[in-house]
Copies of this chain bind each other. A is one copy, B any other.
Amino acid sequence: MITVEEAKHIILENTQNFGIEEIPFLEAVGRILKEDIVADRDFPPFNRVAMDGIAINYRFFEYGVRDFKIEGIQPAGAPQQTMVNASNCYEVMTGACLPNNTDTVIRYEDVDINTLMATINIDEITEGQNIHVQGSDKTKEDVLIKKNTIISAAEIGVLATVGKAMVKVAKQPKVMIVSTGDELVDVNENPLDHQIRRSNVYTLVSLLNDLKIPAKTAHIADKKSVLKEKIASFLQEYDVLLFSGAVSKGKFDFLPEVLDELGVKKLFHRVSQRPGKPFWAGVTDNCNVFAFPGNPVSTFVNCLVYFYPWYKKSVGVSSEEKTAILAKDLTFKPNLSCFLQVKLTSKKGQVYATPIKGNGSGDLASLIEADGFIELPKTEETEFKKGSVFPIIRYR
Interface positions, chain A 151-181, Cβ under 8 Å from B, are 152-165, 181
* Residues from chain B with Cβ under 8 Å of A363 in the complex: 43, 137
- Tell me, rounded to whole Å, the shortest Cβ–Cβ distance linking A327 to chain B: 10
Interface positions, chain A 241-261, Cβ under 8 Å from B, are 245, 248-253
A376 within 8 A of B: no
* Residues from chain B with Cβ under 8 Å of A325 in the complex: 349
Q: Is A91 within 8 A of B251, CB to CB?
A: yes
Q: Is B44 within 8 A of A77, CB to CB?
A: no
Residue in A75, A200, A395 with the greatest tally of chain B CB atoms within 10 Å: A75
Pick the residue among B50, B77, B320, B366 that contacts A195 (CB under 8 A).
B77
Pick the residue among B43, B144, B349, B359 that contacts A350 (CB under 8 A).
B349
Copies in the complex: 2
Q: Closest B-chain residue to A359, C-beta based?
A: B137
* Residues from chain B with Cβ under 8 Å of A368 in the complex: 144-145, 149, 154-155, 158
Interface positions, chain A 314-341, Cβ under 8 Å from B, are 320-325
| Given A249-B107, A249-B108, A294-B95: A79 and B192 interface contact (C-beta under 8 Å) | yes
**Bound complex: CA of A94 vs CA of B197, how far in Å?**
15
* Residues from chain B with Cβ under 8 Å of A198 in the complex: 160
* Residues from chain B with Cβ under 8 Å of A263 in the complex: none
Q: Is B323 within 8 A of A347, CB to CB?
A: yes
**Bound complex: CA of A253 vs CA of B92, how far in Å?**
12
Show the binding face of A for B, using Cβ within 8 Å. 25-26, 29, 43-46, 48, 50, 52-53, 73, 75-80, 91, 93-97, 107-109, 132, 136-138, 144-145, 149-150, 152-165, 181-184, 187-200, 202-207, 209-210, 222, 245, 248-253, 294-296, 300, 320-325, 345-352, 359-360, 362-368, 370, 389, 395-396
Having A78-B194, A154-B395, one finds 16 other A-B pairs with CB under 8 Å, namely A29-B206, A29-B209, A46-B193, A50-B362, A75-B182, A93-B253, A94-B294, A137-B362, A138-B365, A149-B368, A152-B206, A153-B206, A156-B199, A156-B205, A323-B347, A346-B351
Q: 7 shortest A-B CB distances, which residue pairs? A: A77-B182, A77-B183, A153-B206, A154-B367, A325-B349, A157-B203, A160-B199
